[in-house]
């Protein structure tokens, strides 16, 4: 996707002049600084990658999967032996618990690397991480094309001529949360590029404001009409027929179609259900946990620092950034970062294989 007209991905790697796998580095867009500053950060060790994932310099389920794959390659630069490789995988797996893409990517790296002799592992690790990265882009492009057809059909049902389709989204499930294109935003970009009239209601997504800071920024960069709303506004807008579709991403989806996503998603699904607004989740198959059947009880929910609730960062009128504490002294805060929307509230799931009912994931991926 483009930033000020220049193509970017969220993560990439660079080999030195002599294609030296030992000194290759990874670069990321530091998402903690957006929308106030655009900075590329160099990641040159396993420790730096674990920190980038934990502090959410990289974030979003598909992107942290790719970041973890590159983290494995960085780890092997120091030592490609079994003990170090397994220790690296453990550190990456412990960095964030909810998005299953991270586990999927680490397991795929181990499956590729463990059978190899240590000296052959480093170049294989870079090749495998690169393959995971490239495949993720293809998956998200396919989600965009399937979702585009869905948006076209919703417009044709609604349109008596020239009407705008209003889509509500939560958190950031755009290209910043993936390598390119996005999950929930991929169909929106495809629709906008196809000349369809779409407008996006962007939930600010407290406490970290991924909607206000990231989704609004990337939609703006691409010229997609959007309006940022408070997290509590969606239900009211749905009651007044101002939302035609809710479209979110996901961090972990069970084989039965329960959707784990950013905290607050469940409340949007309840409001959508009560107002007969279709609720869709868009995700690549790397986000499906085929071992899980009961999202509410099985999906691990990350508990983040209470500081994320207490502290708000923004730009002062003078242009400087400032962080302020909005809580009374002595008040406690808590920050469960994800929730689970049961399959019964989900109209459909958009994957690289197409659009299906939540209960049809097994069939569409031909799993038993």
Task: List, by residue number, the catalytic residues.
Answer: 251
Other residues' Cβ atoms within 10 Å of the Cβ of residue 60: 30
Measured over all CA atoms, what is the biggest interatomic distance in the chain, rounded to whole angstroms? 65
The C-alpha atoms of residue 253 and residue 261 are separated, in whole angstroms, by: 9
Q: Which of residues 87-116 bind ligand MRU (CB under 6 A)?
A: 99
Nearer Cβ to ligand MRU (73/173): 173
Among 1, 26, 53, 62, binds ligand MRU (CB under 6 A): 62
Contact 296, 256 (CB under 8 A): no
Tokens representing residue 313 in the block: 């960062």
Q: Which stretch binds ligand MRU (CB under 6 A): 124-132, 176-184, 194-202, 290-298?
A: 176-184
Q: Which of residues 214-253 bind ligand MRU (CB under 6 A)?
A: 249-251
The C-alpha atoms of residue 94 and residue 29 are separated, in whole angstroms, by: 22
Residue number with the smallest Cβ distance to ligand MRU: 249
Instruction: Kindly state the smallest distance separating residue 59's Cβ from ligand MRU, in Å.
Output: 3
Contact status: 261 vs ligand MRU (CB under 6 A): yes
Contact 141, 157 (CB under 8 A): no
User: Going residue by residue from 296 to 335, which x/- string records binding to ligand MRU, judged by CB under 6 A?
Assistant: ----------------------------------------
Q: Which of residues 155-174 bind ligand MRU (CB under 6 A)?
A: 171, 173
Among 10, 166, 178, 351, binds ligand MRU (CB under 6 A): 178
Q: Token match 């780890």: residue?
A: 75
The C-alpha atoms of residue 334 and residue 142 are separated, in whole angstroms, by: 37
Contact status: 351 vs ligand MRU (CB under 6 A): no
Listed in sequence order, the residues at least 6 apart from 62 whose beta carbon sits closer than 8 Å to its beta carbon are 101, 136, 139, 140, 177, 178, 179, 183, 284, 286, 287
Instruction: Kindly state the smallest distance separating residue 308's Cβ from ligand MRU, in Å.
Output: 10
265-295 residues labelled b (16+ CB within 10 A) or e (exposed): bbbbbebbbebebbbbbbbbbbbbbeebeeb
Instruction: Kindly state the smallest distance separating residue 262's Cβ from ligand MRU, in Å.
Output: 3
Q: How far is CA 226 from the centre of its chain?
A: 19
The C-alpha atoms of residue 308 and residue 207 are separated, in whole angstroms, by: 6
Contact status: 337 vs ligand MRU (CB under 6 A): yes
Which DSSP state fits 79? -
Nearer Cβ to ligand MRU (77/178): 178
Nearer Cβ to ligand MRU (114/305): 305
Contact status: 61 vs ligand MRU (CB under 6 A): yes
Among 183, 209, 341, 351, binds ligand MRU (CB under 6 A): 183
Nearer Cβ to ligand MRU (61/269): 61
Nearer Cβ to ligand MRU (99/155): 99
Q: Judged by CB under 6 A, how many residues of this single chain contact ligand MRU? A: 18
Nearer Cβ to ligand MRU (76/214): 214
Instruction: Kindly state the smallest distance separating residue 224's Cβ from ligand MRU, in Å.
Output: 16
CA dist 50 → 64, 87, 239, 307 (Å): 10, 12, 43, 20
User: Going residue by residue from 8 to 47, which x/- string records binding to ligand MRU, judged by CB under 6 A?
Assistant: ----------------------------------------
Contact 36, 70 (CB under 8 A): no
Tokens representing residue 259 in the block: 């959707």
Binding site for ligand MRU (CB under 6 A): 59-62, 99, 171, 173, 177-178, 182-183, 210, 249-251, 261-262, 337
């Amino acid at each position: 996707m483009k930033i000020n007209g220049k193509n970017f991905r969220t993560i990439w790697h660079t080999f030195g002049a002599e294609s030296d796998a030992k000194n290759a580095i990874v670069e990321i867009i530091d998402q903690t600084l957006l929308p106030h500053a655009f900075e590329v950060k160099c990641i040159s060790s396993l420790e730096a990658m674990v920190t980038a994932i934990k502090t959410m310099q990289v974030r979003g389920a598909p992107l942290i999967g790719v970041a973890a794959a590159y983290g494995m390659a960085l780890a092997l630069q120091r030592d490609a032996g079994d003990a170090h490789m397994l220790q690296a995988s453990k550190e990456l797996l412990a960095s964030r618990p909810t998005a299953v893409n991270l586990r999927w990517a680490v397991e795929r790296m181990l499956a590729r690397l463990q059978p190899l002799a240590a000296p052959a592992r480093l170049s294989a690790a870079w090749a495998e991480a690169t393959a995971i990265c490239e495949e993720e882009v293809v998956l998200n492009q396919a989600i965009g094309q399937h979702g585009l057809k869905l948006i076209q059909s919703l417009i044709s049902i609604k349109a008596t001529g020239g009407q705008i389709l209003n889509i509500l989204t939560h958190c950031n499930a755009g290209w910043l949360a993936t390598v390119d294109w996005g999950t929930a935003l991929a169909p929106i970009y495809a629709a906008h590029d196809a000349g369809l009239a779409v407008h996006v209601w962007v939930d600010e997504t407290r406490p970290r404001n991924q909607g206000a800071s990231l989704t609004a920024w990337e939609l703006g960069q691409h010229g997609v009409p959007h309006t940022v709303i408070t997290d509590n506004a969606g239900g009211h807008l749905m009651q007044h027929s101002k939302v035609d579709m809710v479209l979110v991403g996901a961090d972990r989806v069970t084989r039965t179609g329960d959707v784990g996503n950013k905290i607050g998603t469940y409340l949007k699904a309840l409001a959508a259900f009560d107002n007969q607004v279709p609720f869709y989740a868009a995700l690549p198959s790397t986000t499906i946990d085929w071992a899980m059947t009961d999202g509410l009880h099985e999906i691990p929910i990350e508990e983040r620092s209470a500081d994320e609730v207490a502290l708000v960062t923004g730009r002062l009128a003078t242009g400087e950034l400032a962080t302020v504490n909005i809580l009374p002294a002595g008040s406690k805060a808590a920050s469960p970062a994800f929730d689970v929307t049961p399959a019964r509230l989900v109209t459909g799931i958009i994957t690289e294989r197409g659009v299906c009912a939540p209960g049809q994931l097994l069939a569409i991926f031909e799993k038993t």
